[in-house]
Amino acid sequence: MSAKQWLKRVRAVEVKTRLLSEQLLQGQAHSIFTGRGIDFEDVRPYQPGDDVRRIDWNVTARMREPYVKRFIEERELTFIILLDLSSSGVFTSAEQSKNELAAELCGVFGFSAIRSNDRVGMALFTDHVEAWIPPSKGEDHVLHMIKGALFHEPTSTGTNISEAVNFLARVSTRPAVVVVISDFMDEGFERAIKSANQRHEMMALNLIDHRDFELPRVGWVTLQDPETGDFVEINTNRKKIRAAYKERAMARYQSLHHKLRSGGVPALDIHTDRPYFADLCQFLTDRASRRLA
């Protein structure tokens, strides 16, 4: 890719995500980009609906009834994006690959954050964290994030979400709003993400291509797992083969959402072949409503 093509691609993502971030902040979803309580002030008796994570167990033990901590609201937030750049993200059956869609989402969150005077950072990961862009402000910083999302060349092909979440615990000293953008082709990450959600406000954006669930009927084909490199030959003309493929994909999908729900992590499916903005706005609005209730 020439320098001219490189700049053209970055510019295209920049223009679109600037517009989407402006629309996002104009709607009710802007409340996700408001301050949250961080600095401790005092305690008060627990009321139904209070976040159980704010219970002060020492005071509760002394008073023999539940008390929760009160905080002074801090207006400035820190947003951190955990971006999966494993090889499965290169796949696409639409105009846009998962990785290209992910870069666009990074721009939307990045520009929205800085317009709310918040800091935003990003970790790029595969089966390990490959790059870390510490939280900061400014449009140049968001453009740096977009360039990293678009053009970073991964050194590995696999996915390890637990490693990315554990890295977050080492580099983030204060609570943050954390967005995991991935197709979640991984196992065994539920404990790590549930633990992180005790400290941070975790959200998951699940990237989906419709070929993740549907095989075309095109006869014998050779498929390769982009993350492991394993090959398999199948006859897509066979209805049982296509049905088994879909059944296995649906089971993985349902298992993923069960894991995220059990960890208290809200999740949104983002499809490569469908508009996502209205769904994203509603998702963030619902998330903010639960957080502020």
Q: What is the count of structural domains for the chain?
A: 2
As a whole number, mean pLDDT of residues 130-141 equals 95
Judgement on whether residues 125 and 66 belong to the same structural domain of the protein: no
pLDDT tens-digit profile of 233-275?
Answer: 989 899 999 999 899 999 999 999 999 999 999 999 999 999 9
- State pLDDT tens for residues 220-234: 888 777 777 788 898
Query: For residue range 54-73, what is the model confidence (pLDDT) as tens digits?
Result: 788 888 898 889 988 776 55
Picking from 45, 73, 101, the residue at the C-terminal end of a domain is: 73
- What residues have CB less than 8 Å from 9, skipping those under 6 apart? 1, 150
Among residues 248, 252, 185, 224, which one has the least CA distance to residue 234? 224
Segments forming the whole domain that contains residue 60 = 37-73
pLDDT averaged over every residue in the chain: 86
Tens of pLDDT, residues 76-97: 789 999 999 999 888 777 788 9
- Out of 73, 95, 125, a domain closes at 73
pLDDT at residue 275, rounded to an integer: 92
Residues 14, 61 within the same domain:
no
- The CB-side HSE value for 191 (13 A sphere, CA atoms) comes to 2
Give, as one character, the DSSP assignment of residue 52. G
* Top mean-pLDDT range of 2-6, 48-52, 224-228, 229-233: 229-233
